[in-house]
């Protein structure tokens, strides 16, 4: 499954076809899959800055279009206190591991699922991914973005 991640300016809330013709500083840019824009906009509004927001669906089975490893992930640039967003929806997790090879840290919120396509009506990988994204957007909508922003600033000091 091909995903198409592109440069997105979080400040202007638009995709940037060519970096040089967009004046915003580079900290506003993220690599974003089109379907992930809703999540990125919501996090950015809260003061959490995604760097990468992508999804993938890897066909795992011997039979085509039957068994998939689904991943939806958002790299949020720095570690935040989990108390700020609170408990994530089922299946979503924070990842703060240090990647030992280059000692760089992961700062990620991600969902990973082994998904089976049973061929029910209207069921497809794209629909399932869409469902997961909508679920996380709905979760973010239950958070008070001003309060999250204030908390993050407070914790920085």
- Enumerate binding residues for Zn ion (CB under 5 A): 9, 11-12, 24
How many whole angstroms separate alpha carbon 56 and alpha carbon 113?
A: 11
Contact 8, 26 (CB under 8 A): no
Min. distance of Cβ 23 from Zn ion in angstroms? 7
Q: Are strands 29-33 and 5-9 parallel, antiparallel or unpaired?
A: antiparallel
- Of residues 83, 10, 3, the one with CA closest to residue 44: 10
Min. distance of Cβ 19 from Zn ion in angstroms? 11
Q: Which is nearer to Zn ion, 26 or 142 (CB)?
A: 26
Task: Map residue 66 onto helix, strand or coil.
Answer: coil
Min. distance of Cβ 24 from Zn ion in angstroms? 3
Q: Which is nearer to Zn ion, 14 or 124 (CB)?
A: 14
Q: Which is nearer to Zn ion, 12 or 60 (CB)?
A: 12
Min. distance of Cβ 7 from Zn ion in angstroms? 10
Q: Which is nearer to Zn ion, 7 or 112 (CB)?
A: 7
- Of residues 117, 122, 140, the one with CA closest to residue 53: 140
Token couple for 108 = 């990620």
């Amino acid at each position: 499954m091909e995903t198409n991640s592109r440069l997105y300016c979080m400040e202007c809330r638009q995709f940037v076809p060519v970096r040089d013709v967009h004046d915003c500083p580079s900290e506003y840019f993220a690599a974003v899959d089109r379907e992930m824009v809703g999540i990125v906009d919501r996090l950015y509004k809260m003061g959490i800055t995604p760097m990468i927001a992508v999804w993938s669906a890897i066909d795992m089975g011997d039979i085509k279009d039957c068994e998939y490893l689904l991943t939806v992930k958002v790299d949020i640039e720095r570690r935040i206190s989990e108390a700020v967003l609170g408990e994530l929806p089922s299946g979503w997790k924070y990842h703060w591991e240090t990647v030992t090879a280059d000692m760089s840290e992961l700062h990620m919120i991600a969902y990973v699922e082994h998904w089976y396509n049973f061929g029910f009506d209207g069921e497809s990988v794209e629909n399932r991914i869409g469902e997961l994204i909508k679920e996380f957007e709905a979760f973010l909508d239950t958070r008070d973005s001003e309060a999250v922003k204030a908390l993050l600033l407070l914790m920085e000091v």
